[in-house]
A and B are shown apart, each in its own frame.
Chain A
Amino acid sequence: MWKSLVAAIAFLAVGGSAFAASATNKDAETRTLVVTEGGGKTELALAAGETAEFCPSGCFVTMPNGDLEALTGSETIEISGGVARIK
């Protein structure tokens, strides 16, 4: 019983990093997202093939094609061909 509990907690700790939104760049060139979070704008440059986590609790993101989108902080964004898709 305790063993299972400890295992479960360890399991949760391992997977605990899944709470922020994440963005993956599948293109061969660097793509930039502009993240507006807590009153400031930051540029999030993603190198080719890079995955980054950001925006733990709600933010606005300007996509590479100029679209502006709101995120709650649990989405996964995939950039391919300069177009970002939210899953």
Chain B
Amino acid sequence: MFFRLLRLVLILALFVLAPPSSDAMAQAIGQGAAALIAEQMKAIQDLTAKTDDLEKKIPQEAEEDAGLVDIRLQLEDISRAALTSALAFRSRLADINNRIEVLGAPPAEGQPQEPEIVTSERGALAAEKAEINAVIASAQNLSIRISGLIDKISTMRSELFRNVLTKRYVLSDALSPEVFSDAQDEYANFYKAVSSWLTFAFKFKFQAVLAATLMALSLAAVLFVGGRRLFGRVFEADPSVEDPSYLSRLSVAFWSTLLPTLAVGVFLVSTVFFFNYYNVLRGDIGVFLNALVAVIAVVFCVNRLTNAALEPRLPNWRLIPVETGPARWLVRLTTAMAVVIGINNFLSVVNDKMGSPLSLTIARSFVATIIVGVILILMGLLKPFKATDGRWRPWPAWLRYTAFALGLFTVAAALLGYIGLAIFVSLQVVVTGTILVTAYIGFLSARAISEEGGFANTSIGRWLSVNSSYEESALDQLGLVVSVAINVMIVLVFLPLILLMWGFQPGDIQAWGYKLATGLTIGSVTISLTGILSGIVVFIIGYFLTRWFQGWLDGSVMARGKVDTGVRNSIRLAVGYAGVALAALVGVSAAGIDLSNLALVAGALSLGIGFGLQNVVSNFVSGLILLAERPFKVGDWIVAGDISGTVKKISVRATEIETFQRQSVILPNSNLINNAVGNWTHRNKLGRIDIKVGVAYGSDVKQAHAALLEIARGHPLVLKNPEPFVLFTNFGPAALEFEIRVFLADVMNGNVVQNDIRFAVLDVFADQHIEIPSAPRAVVETKKHEAWPIDDDKIEVDFAEQEQAKAEAVAEAKRLAKSGRKIRKPDPD
């Protein structure tokens, strides 16, 4: 923007100052522009030629899905290239428009004529603009054409897929006795090809074959033995372990699948590689060998995986809790299924290369699909669990019926002649099933790691707990993060795999990935995953850099520089907040977000902030003021309103104060700014404590004063300067009141000193017979009424006893009256 303005100003200045030279300059620019136009024109012509080629290729690849996807990717590239070459004109167009604006509109009729040079330049500029527009228009047309072609390819591809699935073959033709003779012929051909190659290999290339095989074997052996050495502990299931944890079972399953498969894969791939290297392969043998290698690898992998998951020999180490017999059967059936599919695939390669009749292909696929269907049904029929009463229980209903449905569907499709569909389904069952089972085991391991203490028990967790300062809870949290990461990874790895299996081409997934990365449009909002992710990553890096810088500044620089703790704290906090804000800003711009958009949002929010977040903002600003002004620092004894205690932490919103009863009080910063805050230890810890002493009227006041002063001076913690002072404060109602005022170097010792002085006062007054009066208190006795009794039975018994006693007394009185004796009066005192 700035440069454009500068350029405008320069052009203007040139135009005003040196009119004759502007013509030459315009010419020079015009020549550069002509070169640019020619260059881009040529580029777009090239792109058009490429598009023509690709368009011609589309009908040729009509039967090949992968070819169509490839063409589509190339077309998309061309479209992007066309856009880029059209973009090259932007600055030139802007220049021309600016220049035209500077020249102004042509004079209307009746106005004075403008100079010739201006008219001619305007004409030249318009002509150039027209040329540029023509080139861009051709790029535009190309891009429109390409999108039409891409649409066409999409329709063709869905048509192709539908055709494969819905094409029906006549089985009666394919399954006639002719097939057997065809098969015999083909077998003979195949045998001939292989045996002729074998004789060739043994006669002329025997040493090469031997060397290649040995090399491949040794490579595989190195990998296998090395792997065993490295992961030996986790690799083998130990039959003596009674109840291995789920995680160890999982890791055994994982490694015992991965390592042998890897070793076999390396052996096979390196065999093919060395055979190629020594030119042992000849003709179609290479293709056959590749197909065979793929089949062996897949069958081996499936077998290892099922063996590892089901462990027919070691029930303790089984991942899926089925019984031993069914486990053995499941392994056999799965392997058989993989073998059938593999052989079918291998034979299809052979058929392809040998140019065998269609009937043979149909017959082969028919047999394979029927077998897979039957195996599926057999698997569904298995009863793998044992109930507590010893009866066998089948699979859960949904699994059983899915297996039945898939098996029956495959068999029915094959029987009805929909061989393509049947093959598709059976292949999906094997491959998708394997992928799903692997992914499921991965999910299980993620869950096991996220359990409490799960991560700490893994080898990494043990290593971390030995070699780092992580606590158990930190390890647990780390385990949670790891399990989330595993889940995400499983989705990222297995989703594309499954999509690949379901007829999507790598190009499709690549295109989706590209779309997801550059931006996904929902309505008018476009979300770019990479943008957001890179923003987050940049923010996290910025955050940790800030933390590191903060630590370094605080721990190394300021601690060495003997900087005051309050200043240190303030600087550390300010650096932290500034760093996080900076990291956020950098992260936002890394995410490709236009901050001017946010300015609009912020403007709208500011009203809301003004009302709703008033308190928070005021606390925030107060926090900043506290950091700058530093009325107290961490560790100070402050009194704010009713709260008195030690400052523990100063944050931007609130300050944490710990009272002497160890209660944490979170005080909003605005309270500390707006109200008076007392700080006992602001500049120094010097403080005065007052102790009141009463002396009885009639005592020797001078002697008491001297004694008190002596005590105050005698205490070791009391400062000599300022001097202790004893104040005769009042002629109180009950005593002559004195106050000992002493200054302490550390006011935190106040309680100790007060205690010491009070004890000393008591002792000294006792020695010198000075009396400390205490106001006498009257003792008032209150009469308490007897509580109302609750126990009814007791009342009755008591009442009966009283009645009886009365009756006895009356009887006694009568008896005495009869005996004639008089009751005497009590003696007068």
Within the complex, which residue of B129, B148, B587, B593 is in contact with A18, where a contact is CB–CB below 8 Å? B593
**Contacting residues of chain A (1-42) with chain B, CB-CB under 8 angstroms:** 1, 4-5, 7-9, 11-12, 14-20, 36, 38-40
Is B519 interfacial (CB 8 A cutoff)?
Answer: yes
- Which A-chain residue is minimally distant from B540 (CB atoms)? A5
Residues of B close to A60: CB separation below 8 A = 83, 86, 136, 139-140, 143
Within the complex, which residue of A12, A17, A39, A73 is in contact with B535, where a contact is CB–CB below 8 Å? A12
A50-87 vs B, Cβ < 8 Å mask (1 yes, 0 no):
00010011101000011111101110000000010111
- Which A-chain residue is minimally distant from B129 (CB atoms)? A67
Q: A83-B101, A87-B1 are in contact. Are A70 and B136 (CB under 8 A)?
A: yes
Q: A39-B147, A56-B526, A70-B87 are in contact. Are A15 and B591 (CB under 8 A)?
A: yes
Taking the closest CB of chain A, its distance from the CB of B384, in whole angstroms, is 44
B683-725 vs A, Cβ < 8 Å mask (1 yes, 0 no):
0000000000000000000000000000000000000000000
- Which A-chain residue is minimally distant from B520 (CB atoms)? A56
Residues of A close to B519: CB separation below 8 A = 19, 56-57, 73
Residues of B close to A7: CB separation below 8 A = 584
Taking the closest CB of chain A, its distance from the CB of B653, in whole angstroms, is 12
Is B597 interfacial (CB 8 A cutoff)?
Answer: yes
Is B543 interfacial (CB 8 A cutoff)?
Answer: yes
- Cα–Cα, bound, A13→B594 (Å): 12
- Which A-chain residue is minimally distant from B87 (CB atoms)? A70
Taking the closest CB of chain B, its distance from the CB of A86, in whole angstroms, is 6
**CB <8 Å contact, A16 and B151:** no
Is B137 interfacial (CB 8 A cutoff)?
Answer: yes
The 16 listed contacts between A and B (C-beta, < 8 Å) are: A5-B536, A12-B591, A14-B598, A15-B588, A15-B591, A16-B525, A16-B526, A36-B143, A60-B86, A66-B133, A67-B129, A67-B133, A69-B86, A70-B86, A70-B89, A85-B94
Chain B residues proximal to chain A, CB less than 8 Å: 1, 79-80, 83, 86-87, 89-90, 93-94, 97, 101, 129, 133, 136-137, 139-140, 143-144, 146-148, 151, 518-519, 521, 524-528, 531-532, 535-536, 539-540, 543, 580, 584, 587-588, 591-595, 597-598, 601
- Which A-chain residue is minimally distant from B602 (CB atoms)? A14
**CB <8 Å contact, B525 and A70:** no
**CB <8 Å contact, B147 and A38:** yes
- Cα–Cα, bound, A2→B798 (Å): 76
Taking the closest CB of chain B, its distance from the CB of A37, in whole angstroms, is 9
**CB <8 Å contact, A39 and B151:** yes
Residues of B close to A68: CB separation below 8 A = 133, 136-137, 140
Residue among A38, A40, A53, A74 having the largest count of chain B Cβ atoms under 10 Å: A38
**CB <8 Å contact, A20 and B521:** yes
Taking the closest CB of chain B, its distance from the CB of A8, in whole angstroms, is 5
Taking the closest CB of chain A, its distance from the CB of B140, in whole angstroms, is 4
**CB <8 Å contact, B97 and A16:** no
- Cα–Cα, bound, A11→B595 (Å): 10
**CB <8 Å contact, A70 and B144:** no
**CB <8 Å contact, B524 and A20:** yes
Residues of B close to A36: CB separation below 8 A = 140, 143-144
- Cα–Cα, bound, A17→B144 (Å): 27
**CB <8 Å contact, B90 and A70:** yes
- Cα–Cα, bound, A33→B143 (Å): 18
Residues of B close to A40: CB separation below 8 A = 144
Taking the closest CB of chain B, its distance from the CB of A66, in whole angstroms, is 7
Knowing that A20-B524, A57-B519 touch, tell me 14 more A-B residue pairs with CB under 8 angstroms. A8-B535, A8-B584, A14-B601, A16-B527, A17-B526, A18-B593, A19-B519, A19-B526, A19-B592, A38-B147, A57-B518, A60-B143, A69-B89, A69-B90
Residues of B close to A12: CB separation below 8 A = 532, 535-536, 588, 591, 593
Taking the closest CB of chain B, its distance from the CB of A10, in whole angstroms, is 11
Residues of A close to B535: CB separation below 8 A = 8, 12
Taking the closest CB of chain B, its distance from the CB of A74, in whole angstroms, is 8
Q: A8-B587, A67-B129 are in contact. Are A17 and B525 (CB under 8 A)?
A: yes
- Which B-chain residue is minimally distant from A41 (CB atoms)? B144
